[in-house]
Amino acid sequence: MSAPMVNSCVNSMKSILIHFAHEHVDFRLAELASILKLFKITTCLPDQNGFSPFLKLDLPSLDCAQQIASRAVLIKSVYELWAQGKTHKELNESLSKLPAKFLDPYITSGDTYKFQVTSFNKKIPPKRKLEIIENLPHEVLAFEGRVDLKNHQHAYHIIEDYGSNMGKPTKEPEQVFFAKWIADGQRDKINEFHLQKRHFIANTSMDAALSMIMANLAKVGPNMVVLDPFVGSGSLLVSAAAKGAYVMGTDIDYLLLHAKSRPSRCNMKKRQSDESVYSNLHQYGLEKHFLDVLVADASKPHMWREQTFYDAIITDPPYGIREGAKKIDFNPTLSLTDEQRNGGTHIAQRTEYHLSDIFRDLLNFAARYLHVNGRLVYWFPVQLHTYAEGNIPSHPCLRLVHNCEQKLNSKVGRRLITMEKVCEFNDDMQDAKLAVDHFQEASFRDMYFSESSVLKEKLTQARSRPLKSAPQNDLEVNKRPQNDLELNKQPQNDLELCKQPQNDLVESRRDFSEDGVNDKLSQLNLK
C-alpha cells in the first residue's frame, strides 16, 4: 500500500484515480466501461467496485483520462494518482518515495499551484484541512511556483475516504490519496439539461442524468444515427444529439407529437403550439442533429427498409402506469367508408401492448436494423423479489453487456439493459425469446399497485364508489376542494374515473404532484 504509485510499474501506464459521484451506484462501472469502449481505451476494469466512490485505474495516457471525463456523468473528478496510504503517515512516506525523475518537472516548472483537501462521507473543518496541508512532506513537494488559490495551473488534492461503514463515516479515514487533478466529469451538464428548463416535457420524460448515462451506455458518438421508438418528448434524443449523433424518433401518440395532448406541467391549460422534439433540440442548439419524428406503431418494424440504418437504439418503453402501452391490432370486421378511411375521421382503435411483447419486438427490431457493434439500451421494469436474469429477453444477434438496477421503492424497480449487436442478422434466425416471462402472472401495473397496502385500500374505496358520486362523498375531493371544481366542470371525467378506478389513482397522484405535494411517481418518472 505504501509503495510509490508512479513509475513503479515497468510499462508506461498512468495511475489514475477516479472519484465517482455517489448516485446510481449500480451504473457507475457500466458507464465507465462503455466510455472506455467508445474511445477504444484498453485497460482492466474490476467486475465490481462496491459502494466505494474511488477506483484506481491504469490508463495508457492522461489524454485517456480527459476523454473519460469529457463523457462521464457519474464521475465527479479524474486525478493522476501520486501516492496513497491507510493513514496520513503512510501517505507521506509514500510521497517521500516518489522518484525525483517523476517529481522534478513539476518542482522546477514554476507553475502556479494549490493544495486542496477533499473528503468523502465526512465534512472536514477548515482548521483540520489546513493541518493536513501543513503536515505534507514539503521537503519533497517543494514546488518552485507560487500558490494561487484561484488561477492555478495545477491542483494537488489530498483525498480522505471515510466511506464503507454503511453510510456512517468512520472515525479515521480508511484511505488517503494524494492526486493531481486532471478533469471534472459532466456533473454540471445535469443542471444545464435539467427537465425544469426543458421546453417540451411529457408525463414520463427521462431526467437529464439518466438520459446522458443512456447515451454513454449506447456508445453514442458524432455522426451516428440514433432511434428512440417510444420517443415521447425526446429527452433521450436530446442527450444523444448532445454527443453529436443524428436523431430520429417514433411514437404512437399523435396528439403528443403534435403538441395537442394534455400538458404535463402544472398551471398550464394547454400546450404551446411549438412544443416538439425539434424545439427541445433547438433549445440546446442541437437542431442540426434532428432528423425526424414520425407517428408510428412500434410493433410494426417493417415500416423501415431492410437496411442496418441505426448505430444505437435508446428507449424507455411505457410500463403501463403513467403511460399506457398501445398498438393497433388486426380487426377483419372493420368496415369504413372512404370518407372515414381517408378523411381522417376514423381513429384506429389502440389496444394494450403487452410489456413482454414490447421487449420481444424491440429486440427483433434491433437485431434487424442496428449495425453490428451497435447498441440497444432500454429500461425494463421489474418486481424486485420475483426478478431473475431469465426475465431479460435474448436474441441470437444480441449480447447482454450491462444490466443495471435502479430501485424505485422497496418492491419495484427498473433495470437499464444494454445489449450489443454481435453478428449480422439473417431471416433464418430465431426470434427474440424470454426464458421466463416476468409479466406473465401480472402486468407491471398490477405488480406496482398490488405492492402498497395503502394503495390497495384506496383502490377498494375507489371501486366501491357509486357511479355518479356526489362530490362531497369523494374522499379525494374533500381533501382537495380545488379538484372538486374541476370534477364538476368535467363530469364525464368523473364517470370515466369511476369506471376505471386504477386510472383514478394515477390521475389523483398526478394531481398531488401538481399541488406540489411530494409525489413518488412523478419524482421517479415512472412510466
Which residues form the interface with other proteins (CB under 8 A)? 222-223, 225, 246, 248, 250, 252, 254, 257-258, 287-288, 291-297, 300, 302-305, 307-309, 328-336, 341-342, 344, 346, 348-349
All cell numbers assigned to 223: 455522426
d(CA 297, CA 148): 60
Region for residue 344 given its phi and psi (left: phi exceeds 0; alpha: psi -120 to 50; beta: otherwise) = left
All cell numbers assigned to 291: 432528423
Rounded to the nearest whole angstrom, what is the least distance from the CB of residue 292 to other proteins in the complex? 4
Rounded to the nearest whole angstrom, what is the least distance from the CB of residue 370 to other proteins in the complex? 13
CB 108 within 8 Å of CB 150: no
Sign of CA dihedral 359, 362, 367, 373: negative
Please list the alpha-helical segments (H only) found in 333-403.
338-343, 355-369
| Residue partners of 471: CB distance under 8 A and separation at least 6 | 477, 484, 487, 488
First to last CA, the chain: 47
Rounded to the nearest whole angstrom, what is the least distance from the CB of residue 503 to other proteins in the complex? 23
CB 32 within 8 Å of CB 146: no
User: With respect to other proteins, which residue has the nearer C-beta, 39 or 246?
Assistant: 246
User: With respect to other proteins, which residue has the nearer C-beta, 284 or 304?
Assistant: 304
Which among 56, 61, 8 has a CA at the least distance from the CA of 179? 56
User: With respect to other proteins, which residue has the nearer C-beta, 295 or 435?
Assistant: 295
User: With respect to other proteins, which residue has the nearer C-beta, 128 or 341?
Assistant: 341
Mapped onto helix, strand or coil, the DSSP state of residue 74 is coil
| Residue partners of 454: CB distance under 8 A and separation at least 6 | none
Mapped onto helix, strand or coil, the DSSP state of residue 421 is strand
Rounded to the nearest whole angstrom, what is the least distance from the CB of residue 288 to other proteins in the complex? 4
Rounded to the nearest whole angstrom, what is the least distance from the CB of residue 226 to other proteins in the complex? 12
User: With respect to other proteins, which residue has the nearer C-beta, 268 or 295?
Assistant: 295
Rounded to the nearest whole angstrom, what is the least distance from the CB of residue 255 to other proteins in the complex? 11
d(CA 252, CA 440): 24
Rounded to the nearest whole angstrom, what is the least distance from the CB of residue 160 to other proteins in the complex? 46
Rounded to the nearest whole angstrom, what is the least distance from the CB of residue 167 to other proteins in the complex? 47
All cell numbers assigned to 255: 396528439
User: With respect to other proteins, which residue has the nearer C-beta, 173 or 232?
Assistant: 232
User: With respect to other proteins, which residue has the nearer C-beta, 278 or 459?
Assistant: 278
User: With respect to other proteins, which residue has the nearer C-beta, 421 or 509?
Assistant: 421
